Amino acid sequence: MSGPYEGGCLCGQIRWRASAEPINVRFCHCRNCQRATGGPYFARALFNDADVERTGDTTSWASSQRLHRLSCVRCGTPVFAEPQDGPWIAVSLTTLDDPAALAPGSHIWISEKLDWVRIDDGLPQHLRGN
């Protein structure tokens, strides 16, 4: 499938629309993503920020010096991650209206992958970010 891609949070207060293809789509297994999402990894698509329209109110907090996380103020759904070192926005794949529209192409930060997570999908794996 090709864009545009659309999605939102659980309660519908946050909506987003990407008008272009993502830069990359990845599983991130770093410890910050585990804690921020409450899951074993963050499945996300990285877009140029200018290509993503957003509506609704979010909370914003720094999970590291490099990355700010944004969640819905009403339902708490983690929707976005904003790298501070470029004009990009990461969007949680699970917030897509069609969650099958984009599929990750690689795994990053597997050096921090939880031992009980098995990766057998044949995708490239990188010890750190790539």
How much is the pLDDT for 86?
Answer: 87
How much is the pLDDT for 129?
Answer: 81
How much is the pLDDT for 1?
Answer: 54
Q: Which fold has domain 5-112?
A: 2.170.150
Q: Give the pTM.
A: 0.91
Structure tokens at 76: 């708490």
How much is the pLDDT for 71?
Answer: 96
**Residue 59 CB-density burial (10 A; 0-12 exposed, 13-18 middle, 19+ buried):** exposed
Spans of the chain, pLDDT less than 70: 1, 130
